[in-house]
Amino acid sequence: MECKKAHGQIALPIFYGVDPSEVEDQTGNFGKGFDRAKEQANGDMRLVKKWKAALKAAASLSGWDSSVVRPDAKLIDEVVNHILKKLNHSPSSDTEGLIGIESSLEQVERLLSIDFPDVRIIGIWGMGGIGKTTVAGVIFNRISTLFDGCCFLPNVREESEKMGLPRLQEELFSMLLEDGNLNMHMLSTEPSFIKTRLRRKKVLVVLDDVSSLRQLELLAGIHWFGTGSRIIVTTRERGLLVSHGVDFICEIKDLNEEHALELFSRYAFRQKHRTEEFTKLSMRAIDYCKGLPIALKVLGSSLYGRSEREWSALLDRLEKHFNKDIQQTLRISYDALDELNQSLFLDIACYFRGHDRNYVEKILTSFGFHPESGLRELTDHSLITVFDNTLGMHDLLQDMGREIVRQQSIKDPGKRTRLWDHDDVIQVLTQKSGTKHVECIVIDLSKTDERHFSAKAFMKMKNLRLIDVHGAYGDRKVHLSGDFKFLYHELKCLSWEGYPLKDLPSNFNPRKIIMIDMPRSSIRQLWKGVLHLNKLQFIDLSHSQCLIETPDFTGVPNLEVLILEGCTSLSVVHQSTGLLKKLILLNLKDCHRLKSLPRSIELESLNELLLSGCSQLGKFPEVVGSMKHLTMITLDGTAISELPLSIKNLTGLVCLSLRNCKNLGSLPSNINFLKSLKNLDLCGCSKLDKLPESLGYLKDLEKLDVAETAVSEPPSSIALLENLKVLSFRGSKPIVWHWPYKFFSIFRKAHDSVGLSLPSLKGLHSLTELDLSDCNLSEEMIPGDFHCLTSLEVLNISKNNFVNMPASISRLPRLRYLYLDDCKNLKTMQKLPPTIHEISANNCTSLEAISSPEAITDKWKWPIFYFTNCFRLAVNRGDDSMAFKFLRSHLQFLKMSQLQEVTYQGCRFDVIVPGTEIPDWFSQQKMGSSVTIQLTANWYTEKFKGLAVCPVFASFDNQDLLTGGQASDIAIYCKLEAIGSSGTSVFKFLIYRVPSLQADHLWMGFHSRIGFGTSSLLNKCHSLRVSFEPSAPGVQVKKCGVRLVYDQNENDYNSITAKSSHCNENSDIVTGEPMMVDESGKLKRDHEGYNEARPTETGCSSRREEPYPKRLKKC
């Protein structure tokens, strides 16, 4: 523990065969051990005290309990995997081969301030080829293990054009939440659920090559993510960062001469230093490249192994074109390739950049390339990169490759081998000037309106091997007139989004084709009869709403991917589909008219079967033979009423989703045969009223969602799910028969009052999240052994009938998040677990009392209290208010423990309650959203502990950028500007996410000195401006108060601020004395004034003698 404190090392306790509480409290066997140690100490208790302090500190850390994680093999596996994730790359390894970036890395790391608990965006800005992505990648590799979730999105500019921003957003959230089932439908229908999950996670996001403000709005919403999250954005446009409110920007500059020479030498000589005879030539080379890393790499790679004469001749040629472009430098490596790999490079530059390597290799093989050796040679010449199995190429290199193709025929694009430029393509198709030279044509219709072409425009391009038409949706369509004959016998890839004809050409029989990618087409049937297409591996006809039936696939034995998602007219799937031995993915999502599948399926290679949204599909096919590779089945929203017993053959199934299957009445009794099942989603299966006892034998099950079902009595075997981590019974209630109200209202009320009957849960040792919200629960319905959930961190018991909070909750040893929102009958919250991080009790309109903060803040690291619209908590006023007592208790705790010197996590405190009056203790107050404090020299000392803030605000209706129209929370930021003669230092941190409020509320928070900056810098500042900024329209900050917090014996600095403690509406600057903490930790205060918070004109009274009349209940 001393090493942890002195050197910042990580300590990970393992409680093997011992109760963690006994270690922390030093009771039981541990207490007896210390008693013996005391007896043997012979009066010298120093070592014993050190042991006790160390063990108490170790027990407060997050670790492993051998009674929870069983057997020992699993415990060892978890410990080893956790340590492997924590082990970071050393700086010497992650920057090997990277020259001159250390200063940029240091600057970015300073801006990141990982120990600062705010959520912040860091911009990395610079010209193309300067190394922005490299810097972001190194930082990502260095720090990603410090976050709960991470995501690196490369080439955002290009990918957003290809996929669309909603798909990129879906990919981002799926990676951060580690949820492969997440999709745009869930983002639009369950935004609050997704955002709640995101807000509990500290995440790292890298958005590479951002080019528009809209991309930042949809991918970098700073208020979506949990405390301590970091978003890194690389861009060529500094204005985008400024417009998005990014305060932390690092500019990447050219390499200096020393670093440029070192980088060049590494590629030109395969070592750090050049040989003496090449010194002058090397200086010429780096002078030409002007410190641009990509140019230095490519030129160095091109010169490697050549003689002095060759160097000199090549540099002479470059210098003749000095005023033209850097592309002359980049082309040298291209010229060194053989003809086949030159063609391979041009294909990647014109089409395959940003694609999955495995996917591209299959296509390149069909083109006659040797992709394994070819891609390796391109990588060796620094012409391409492979990151996360994705082919990458620098923008400058892509521009060079496309320029090489353009030079094939400058004036007549119809004679070039590859067409991709929009204007060139339109010219060729309009003028029918295509020739046999054209091998690949890419038509981007997102840049044009509706277009009419003659089928004859394609007839002369007989050597086409790739056709790619994309962006054809909405009004951007292509219309073909004339007889479209198929003459492309070399065609390997047919990709045509929005194909306008109802049928393919009658003579369609491309025997060399490997991919038919035609989403949103007008095709009715792909082909008739049997076509022998032995090389065809991929078919995508998604959202082809005219498609009626699938063809006979008997002649397509090597098909691996079949995507028919959103084909809303599809009613027949050919029986041969169930016999495709090499099929890996079958996607039939949202085929609303599909009523049946093949009677049986024998798809031995199938990995994913996606049937969600097939609302008329009433029967799942019989499973024949072994389908051990199938890991995922989604049946969300289907009409299936039961699953066949043959589902037991799916022994490799990991995820089974039956979400919103309204007809599902039961699960198969042999579900226990699904030994690999980890995720079972039954949410919304409203007729499902019983779970089989065999469910308890799914030993690998980690997530079980039974929300919004009719299950009222879960089986007792559920306690056997020792690996279960997430369990939800949200809204689960028995089926209620609603009789005519006039005659049977009494019976209806009795039925409605029935709640969920919980069995013992004591065997769920791995459970971390439990949702029992809206289950008609009262205190006595919580099992007595509830405290045995020793791993539980998140508990949601909102919308229930509790009058008092169940006592067993206080005994949950690891509970961090407790949600009690909308518990309208809840009056008191008694003793809470010491591990609590966040309490949300919004809209608890009867809540009157909460256990004293002294009892619940003793071990808190960053306490957060949300009590919006809890008006009964606003009875006490001013310095006697509940919120102020909580703040006082927190500061007292910090004073006594000096936690702020140990870890940043103890340096925040936040509470929100109804209210309109700021306690006078906040000595700097002002109407509006900002206040400025005048400072004196040396105000920032060791005695300065932090800043206390208290804005008063109201919220209005607002729109959510995430889901485009859903009501949502809005963040408020506290922005600190330390103003001095040498400039202004800016710090910003999130202080609250504002829900819908019925009246004015106030926020009380404390932010410690950690993260403010260095004393040498801040002591040069003469004023500190504190402002409160909403993240979007919908929130008004009416007034605010702040106070600098000092330790109690800071008499030398009592005059740092002027003595004024009253709000002045006309003054720009309001000053006052710093707060003092006395020996007991109590705050000095002298004013009792406070006006009660109350709802506005909605039937609520503000009378002091009757603060909560009956009318309040109607609000």
Mean pLDDT of the chain: 80
Domain ranges of the chain: 2-86, 91-251, 256-336, 524-677, 854-1053
The pLDDT assigned to 743 comes to 44
Helix and strand tally (H, E) in the chain?
Answer: 28, 43
User: What number is the average pLDDT over the span 146-158?
Assistant: 88
Burial of 412 (0-12, 13-18, 19+ CB in 10 A): middle
Per-residue model confidence (pLDDT) at position 802:
93
CB burial class (10 A; 0-12, 13-18, 19+) of residue 406?
middle
Q: What pLDDT, on the 0 to 100 scale, is given for residue 314?
A: 83
Highest mean pLDDT among 1-10, 65-74, 627-636, 954-963: 627-636
Mean pLDDT, residues 475-497 taken together:
76
**How confident is the model at residue 91, as a pLDDT?**
41
Tell me the C-alpha distance between 301 and 382, whole Å: 7
Are 249 and 219 a contacting pair, CB within 8 Å?
no
- Nearest to 807, CA basis, from 772, 783, 837: 783
Predicted confidence (pLDDT) at residue 965 exceeds the cutoff of 50: no
Confidence grade of residue 174 (pLDDT, cut at 50, 70, 90): confident
Tell me: pLDDT of 343 over 90. Answer: yes
Mean pLDDT for the stretch of residues 381-388: 83
- When pLDDT is averaged across residues 528-551 and rounded to a whole number, the result is 93
Q: Could you count the other beta carbons within 10 Å of the beta carbon of residue 910?
A: 23
> Which segments of 590-638 are extended strands (E)?
600-601, 608-610, 622-623, 632-634
Q: Mean pLDDT across the stretch 652-660?
A: 95
Alpha-carbon distance 747 to 739, whole Å?
8
Distance, in Å, from the CA atom of 496 to the CA atom of 508, rounded to the nearest integer, reads 15
pLDDT band at 610 (very low <50, low <70, confident <90, very high): very high
pLDDT digits (tens, 9 = 90+) for 979-995: 887 667 676 666 666 66
Per-residue pLDDT band for 636 (boundaries 50, 70, 90) equals: very high
Q: Read off the pLDDT band of 459 (50, 70, 90).
A: confident
Helix axes 279-289, 293-303, angle to 10 degrees: 140
How far apart are the C-alpha atoms of 972 and 124, rounded to whole Å? 25
Q: How many CB atoms lie within 10 A of CB 9?
A: 10
The model's confidence at residue 735, banded by pLDDT at 50, 70 and 90, is low
pLDDT for 275 equals 67
Place of tokens 């990447």: 252
Q: What is the H or E stretch that residue 329 is in?
A: helix 327-335
Architecture in CATH for domain 91-251: 3-Layer(aba) Sandwich (3.40)
- Report, as an integer, the average pLDDT of 832-861: 74
Q: Which of 37-51, 174-188, 277-291 has the highest mean pLDDT?
A: 277-291
Average pLDDT, stretch 607-618? 95
Mean pLDDT of 204-220: 90
d(CA 347, CA 332): 18
- What average pLDDT does this structure show over 771-779? 92
Is 747:739 a contact under the CB 8 Å cutoff? yes
Burial (CB < 10 A; 0-12, 13-18, 19+), residue 478, is buried
Q: How many Å apart are CA 1115 and CA 1107, to the nearest integer?
A: 14
Average pLDDT over residues 913-940: 88
Residue 652 has pLDDT above 80, yes or no: yes
The pLDDT confidence band at residue 256, using thresholds 50, 70 and 90, is: confident
Is the per-residue pLDDT at 505 higher than 90?
A: no
State the pLDDT at residue 614. 95
The closest of 219, 211, 205 to 241, measured between CA atoms, is 211
pLDDT at 920 over 80: yes
What does the pLDDT read at residue 439?
93
Who has greater pLDDT, 1087 or 710?
A: 710
Task: Please check whether residue 1022 is in contact with residue 979, taking contact to mean a CB–CB distance below 8 angstroms.
Answer: yes
Q: Identical fold at 2-86 and 524-677?
A: no
Model pLDDT for residues 661-692, shown as the tens digit of each residue: 999 999 999 999 999 999 999 999 999 999 99
> Which pLDDT does position 139 carry in this prediction?
92
Residue where the block lists tokens 């971390």: 768
Spell out the long-range contacts of 778-782 with Cβ–Cβ below 8 A and sequence spacing 24 or more: 778/802, 778/803, 779/803, 779/804, 779/805, 779/806, 779/807, 781/755, 781/756, 781/757, 782/758, 782/806, 782/808, 782/809
- Residue indicated by tokens 């999250």: 229
CA distances from 518 to 56, 473, 563, 921 (A): 64, 12, 10, 68
Alpha helix stretches (DSSP H) within 416-496: 422-431
Q: How many whole angstroms separate alpha carbon 484 and alpha carbon 506?
A: 9
User: Is it true that domain 2-86 has CATH number 3.40.50.10140?
Assistant: yes
State the Rg of the chain over Cα: 33
Q: What is the average pLDDT across 284-301?
A: 82
Chain-centroid distance, C-alpha 984: 32
Q: Give pLDDT, residue 746.
A: 44
Mean pLDDT value across residues 646-667: 94
Question: What tens digit of pLDDT does each residue of 882-907 get?
Answer: 788 888 877 777 776 554 344 434 46
**CB atoms closer than 10 angstroms to residue 237:** 14
- Contact status, residue 714 vs residue 706, Cβ threshold 8 Å: yes
Count CA atoms within 13 Å of residue 206 on its CB side: 26
Mean pLDDT score, 452-471: 85
Give the pLDDT of residue 1063.
41
Dihedral angle of Cα 354, 357, 363, 368, to the nearest 10 degrees:
110
- pLDDT at residue 225 is higher than 80: yes
CB 259 within 8 A of CB 97: no
CATH of domain 524-677: 3.80.10.10
* Range of lowest pLDDT (26-40, 262-276, 1065-1079): 1065-1079
- Judged against a pLDDT cut of 90, whether residue 822 lies above it is answered with yes
So what's the pLDDT on residue 53?
A: 77
Peptide bond into 833 cis (omega under 30): no
Read off the pLDDT of each residue in 93-114 and give the average, rounded to a whole number: 78
Residue 559 has a pLDDT of 96
Q: Please, which pLDDT band fits residue 910 given cuts at 50, 70 and 90?
A: confident
